[in-house]
Amino acid sequence: MISAGDFRNGVTIELEGNVYQIIEFQHVKPGKGAAFVRTKLKNIISGGVVEKTFRPTEKCPTAHIDRKDMQYLYADGELFTFMDMESYEQISVNKDEVGDALKFVKENEMCKVCSYKGNVFAIEPPLFVELAITDTEPGFKGDTATGATKPATVETGAQVAVPLFVEQGDVIKIDTRTGEYLSRV
């Protein structure tokens, strides 16, 4: 149990049958009346954000989220298969839980699988990946007055905006959180 006076960003709590992560919190002490804690909570399963106020003495049970490193093996239709590298146990995760998380992840790369009470609700890809460009148009001379970009397709099939000097076959580094080009490798 954690009291509302001890809330911090990133703490996960159980509330009204759901699991929430605290995004923001603020201790408010008005001139008249009792103090309270104003919070912004994100439902970690549905992704919805709600605002709620608590008395500082209210207590909520903490929710323990398991983040386990697993290897992404392959996709088979609607299912994505991951393997625990310690026990070699394999799990399959539905396409709905994965979403766009594996857009920049190749097979056999490590990911974090997030679960609550044994139910997988999210996949966290590595922060940075290195992928080869499979298709892009050539850049033209004179187009470089500003930081011009062109679309490129990487080996996982995702689209990325890259500078004009990047060519087909180059290996680039991508930030998976934003989908932005970082550098050539």
Residue-wise pLDDT for 23-62, tens only, equals 899 999 998 888 999 999 988 877 789 999 999 889 999 9
- Indicate the fold that domain 2-60 takes in CATH: SH3 type barrels. (2.30.30)
Check residue 141 and give its pLDDT.
Answer: 64
Find the largest Cα–Cα distance for the chain: 68
Cα 70 to Cα 56, 109, 125, 146, distances in angstroms: 39, 8, 10, 41
pTM metric for this prediction: 0.71
Same fold, 66-124 and 128-184: yes
Q: What does the alpha-carbon distance between residue 64 and residue 48 come to, in Å, rounded to a whole number?
A: 19
To the question of domain 128-184 being in CATH 2.40.50.140, the answer is yes
Check residue 144 and give its pLDDT.
Answer: 59
Domain 66-124: which CATH number of 3.40.1160.10, 3.40.50.720, 2.40.50.140, 1.10.10.10: 2.40.50.140
Q: Give the start-to-end residue ranges of the domains of the chain.
A: 2-60, 66-124, 128-184
Check residue 142 and give its pLDDT.
Answer: 61
Residues in the chain, pLDDT under 50: none
Q: List b or e across 152-180, with b for residues whose CB sees 16 or more CB atoms inside 10 angstroms.
A: bebebebebebbbebeeeeebebebeeee
The answer for residues whose C-beta is within 8 angstroms of residue 155's C-beta and 6 or more apart is: 106, 131, 132, 133, 134
